[in-house]
Amino acid sequence: MKKIYLIGFMGSGKSTIGSELSKKDSLTFVDTDQFIEEKYKTRIARIFEEDGEETFRNYEVETLKDLIDFDVIATGGGIIERKENKVTMEKNGVIIYLHTSFKEIDSRLKNDVDRPLWNNDMDNKMALYKRRIPLYKDFADHVIQTDDKTVEEIVREIEEYTKSV
């Protein structure tokens, strides 16, 4: 079976949607951030702090290649920072971009302190979001707008898309 990769900015719901989709359709699910934290036995924030973002990006590249046992994969928001990740995902499955507006993300992550790249001033967060939108679109086989939709609706859209390819 082709894997289903979920990509999108922090707070776009990749983990929630991926988990629901996998439960509904009896598929195996993994979240790359969680996988990295378990593999390296440390928190993502700590990797950024102690080893830097580049090290974390290297871990992501390797992890993505390692996930042979999983059907649904929720990726970290920065998976599009390395072009080689597109090659890995294209080879193994379909890439679905969950597009969420900045306004919605900002309201969801208002009190979040765990994400190093969200722990920043508004201008920087907005600039990161704007820079990444074309990258997500370039990686994606399919885009789903998530604003004002329920988890169930988004899951259904993914099912419909994956049935059609």
Interface residue list for ligand S3P (CB under 6 A): 10, 33, 44, 76-78, 115-117
Nearer to ligand S3P, 44 or 72 (CB): 44
Radius of gyration of the chain from its Cα atoms, rounded to whole angstroms: 15
DSSP H or E segment with residue 3 = strand 3-7
Task: Give the whole-angstrom CA distance, residue 12 versus residue 156.
Answer: 16
Using the minimum distance from each CB to ligand S3P, give the nearer residue, 1 or 80: 80
Question: Do the beta carbons of residue 10 and residue 110 sit within 8 Å?
Answer: no
Neighbours of 164 (CB within 10 A): 7
Question: Do 39 and 45 meet the contact criterion of CB atoms below 8 Å apart?
Answer: no
Report the residue number, 51 or 116, with the smaller CB distance to ligand S3P: 116
Q: Which amino acid is at 29?
A: F
CB of 53 to ligand S3P, least distance (A): 8
Q: Closer to ligand S3P at the Cβ: 111 or 164?
A: 111
- Nearest in space to 164 (alpha carbons), one of 80, 86, 96, 91: 96
**Residue nearer to ligand S3P on the CB measure, 77 or 93:** 77
CA distance 134 to 137: 5
Q: How far is the CB of 105 from ligand S3P (least distance, A)?
A: 10
Minimum distance of ligand S3P from residue 106's CB (angstroms): 14
As measured in angstroms, the least distance from the Cβ of 43 to ligand S3P is 10
Supply 107's token pair: 């309201």
CB of residue 118 to ligand S3P, shortest distance in Å: 7
